Amino acid sequence: MQQLEANFHTVEIDGRPVSYRRFGNGSRKILFYHGFPGSSVQIDFIRPHVAIYDLEIVCFDRPGYNGSHFNKEPQCKLTSKISKGLLASLGWSQCEVVSVSGGTPFLFSFVRSHPELVSRVTIISGLGPMSGVGFKRIMGWKSKAALRMLPFVPERILKRVRTMPLQRRTKMMGRFLPASRPDQEFMSHPKAKSMVVQGLNEALMQNGRGPKRDARVLTSKWNADLGQYAGPVDIWHGDQDKIVPAAMARSLSEALAGSRLNIVSGEGHYSLPVRNVGQILAKRKPV
């Protein structure tokens, strides 16, 4: 793997290399959980706002993605262990946690395990527990079927996907991840398309082992429960999101007493965080 970015790093945690990206050196610390399938490159959209909001933001690639290795431990447990280890290596005593889309179950796992390390929770276009009560009928059957089949797809097939021509790969992904009009408009911009393509390439760097591990988590019966955490929770979702419908955000908000639900008109799955990042990052008083 060749990485030339100054903000790309590798650290060893529990004897395993973990790749991550880091921007800023501000007083406000944020640990970001990337989406599925994606990678730590997803924090690039926050880069222009780092100085404005006095941020230091970090996102690591989950085990099996990009340069992050894995072992036989369950993905959620291992991801929480990495989260804690990375914070310790950075010298952070506490931080905000932010997730997008399929990174959400991993945020929940870490907050439940280490509520003392978390000062604020923000969920963007979040995927809730698809098998949970109140969530079962939200996702489309094609998306659910694809996630359930993914762990059984041979690695040689996923390796081919990584080298597939962009137009063909986009068409294939669209069958399972339908794009709304705001997302189509967003993806028409070269920089946005480049970030999404790079994220998918890095997700498949290890022949899809990371996404396959993630898929087992996303389709499992995990709970939308933050345990002993009692701090502020903000949930953001676009009303035009076709990948994870806005009903998911409403169900998450109902499950998290005291959370603040923000449904943004005219925004999709990808367009929401990028076009509204300033509003999302703006600190507000707890409810």
Tell me, what CATH number does 253's domain have?
3.40.50.1820
Number of structural domains (the chain) is: 1
Residue 286 domain-assigned (yes or no):
no
The answer to whether residue 2 sits within a structural domain is no
In a domain, 287, yes or no: no
Q: Residue 68 and residue 240: Cα distance in Å, rounded?
A: 33
pLDDT value, residue 175: 64
Domain contains 190:
yes
Map residue 30 onto helix, strand or coil: strand
- Give the pLDDT confidence score for residue 101 in this predicted structure: 96
Please report the pLDDT score of residue 2 as a whole number: 41
pLDDT at 273: 94
Asked if the structure places residue 146 within a domain, the reply is: yes
For residue 261, is it within any domain? yes
Q: What pLDDT score was predicted for residue 12? A: 95
Distance CA(12)–CA(137), nearest Å, equals 41
Domain-located, residue 68: yes
Q: Output the pLDDT for position 6.
A: 62
Tell me if 258 is assigned to some domain: yes
133 exposure class (CB count in 10 Å sphere: 0-12, 13-18, 19+): exposed
Phi/psi of residue 281, each to 5°?
-80, -20
Show the domain range for 100: 8-281
How far is Cα 98 from Cα 244, in angstroms, rounded to an integer?
17
User: What pLDDT, on the 0 to 100 scale, is given for residue 161?
Assistant: 82
pLDDT in tens, the chain (287 residues): 344 456 899 999 989 999 999 999 999 999 999 999 899 999 999 999 999 999 999 999 999 999 999 888 999 999 999 999 999 999 999 999 999 999 999 999 999 999 999 999 999 999 999 988 889 889 988 889 999 999 999 988 888 887 777 667 666 666 667 789 999 898 888 888 888 889 999 999 999 999 999 999 999 999 999 999 999 999 999 999 999 999 999 999 999 999 999 999 999 999 999 999 999 999 765 54
- The alpha-helical segments, DSSP class H, found in 65-189 are 75-90, 104-113, 141-149, 155-163, 166-176, 181-187
Give pTM, 2 decimals: 0.94
